[in-house]
A and B are shown apart, each in its own frame.
Chain A
Amino acid sequence: MTDERTNDLWLRDLEGQPSPQALTDLRERLLRGLRYALKQRYHITESDIEDFVQDALVKILDNLDTFRGESRFLTWAHKIAIRVAFSELRRKRWENVSLQDLVPETLGSDSADASPLAWLPSDQVSPEQDVTQQNLRALLAQLIQEELTDLQRQALIAVAIKGMPLEEVARRMDTNRNALYKLLHDARKRLKQQLEAHGVTVEEFMGTFSAEK
């Protein structure tokens, strides 16, 4: 499928009062793109896809002035439609999960379940067999408990251990995906520094683990 409009033409036809033909063409392209991108997800209906495209069109028209022409216009438009669709899918998938369920705040209190290790998957490995892993797990749990702020700890557990998408954790913390990424980046930097202070480096870590096959 070739793009019959140049970037300049797309912009000319969409800026101000958009031409109905350009809107129809764009809408058709985005529908085809999303249908294809979401093909393997059986729970998504055609009407979901139409809603995503409708939301994306609004976003695209609102943000035309941010298009810098560094790619084809349609690539940029697909990028926006994909973000709209995937964000909405993540929202729906996680809508019934609260952060409180995922990361209980009792963490670190003196109740029996609240050991710093409780949230790190504790597998039935015998200590003799896997001393290094056990020690690392304990060390990491301790560092997460002691070196991170409450917010960093909560976000790291939700994202890295429980697998909740960044933007969903962000929504529940009244922030956004970008800011949460930065908060987690700071947390990772802190933990890395502390792990290295304990002699754990990425080289040593890879060595230890690959030797244990």
Chain B
Amino acid sequence: MKAKSKKLTNLLLTILQTYAREIGCDTCFEHLDRYVEMTLAGKDASAVMPLVYRHLQTCPACREEYEALLKVLKRS
């Protein structure tokens, strides 16, 4: 795929992969601590909390915070 149309491709993919049921940032945030701990324990958090997983795929801000939290906890 040509890199120059990456934005268009991403936008189309985001739209086409929209689910009827998605959670918002607040619900994602509520479950994020448990989700991260499960991930760190080597459990399949995405299977237990698919809606959180899906939100993290769709929402860059929550994704960024998830990655930061994972990083901090990995170290402590």
Q: Is the CB of B29 within 8 A of A79?
A: yes
- Say if the beta carbon of A189 comes within 8 Å of chain B: yes
- Say if the beta carbon of B43 comes within 8 Å of chain A: no
Determine the main DSSP class of A at the interface with B. Answer: helix
Q: Is the CB of B32 within 8 A of A79?
A: yes
Residues in A whose Cβ lies below 8 Å from that of B65: 79, 82-83, 86
- A residues contacting the other copy or chain, number (CB 8 A): 53
Over the window 33-76 of chain B, the binary record of Cβ atoms lying under 8 Å from chain A Cβ atoms (1 yes, 0 no) is: 11011000000000000000000000111001100110111011
- B residues contacting the other copy or chain, number (CB 8 A): 40
Residues in A whose Cβ lies below 8 Å from that of B16: 192, 195, 200-202, 205
A window 32-80: CB within 8 A of B = 32-34, 36-37, 70-72, 74-76, 78-79
| Other-chain contact of A177, B10, B25, B36 (Cβ < 8 Å) | B25
How far apart are the CA atoms of A121 and B34 in the complex, in Å? 39
* Smallest CB gap from B36: residue in A: A75
How far apart are the CA atoms of A167 and B62 in the complex, in Å? 11
Given A86-B68, A185-B22, A136 and B36 touching (CB < 8 A)? no
> A82, A120, A130, A181 — which one has the most chain B CB atoms within 10 A of its CB?
A181
Q: Is the CB of B75 within 8 A of A36?
A: yes
